[in-house]
Amino acid sequence: MLRFIKGNLESIDGVQIYPIISLLIFFIFFVVLFWWVFTAKKEHIAEVSNIPLESNNQQNDDLL
């Protein structure tokens, strides 16, 4: 099966750039995510982490 794919890909000019581009996108995404995690404000993290609990409390209040 792989030889069919390899044969088709070898006939495309410039196909060797696509794995490099996808690796760069993958690497840049995780570098940006890593940077965001370490520079995010602690208040924002605490607020976002409490959203599921607040939603659950509102549902319980509505039922009572």
Quote the pLDDT of residue 58.
60
Residue 14 sits at φ, ψ, to 5 deg, of: 75, 20
**pTM for the complete prediction?**
0.56
**Number of domains comprising the chain:** 1
pLDDT tens-digit map of 1-49: 677 777 777 788 888 898 899 999 999 999 999 999 899 898 988 888 8
Give the end-to-end CA distance of the chain in Å, rounded to a whole number. Answer: 61
Upper half-sphere CA count for residue 62 (Cβ side, 13 Å):
6
Work out the widest C-alpha separation in the chain, in whole angstroms. 68
Q: Return phi, psi of residue 36, to 5°.
A: -65, -40
Residue 60: is its pLDDT beyond 70? no
Range of the domain at 6: 2-63
CB 9 within 8 A of CB 15: yes
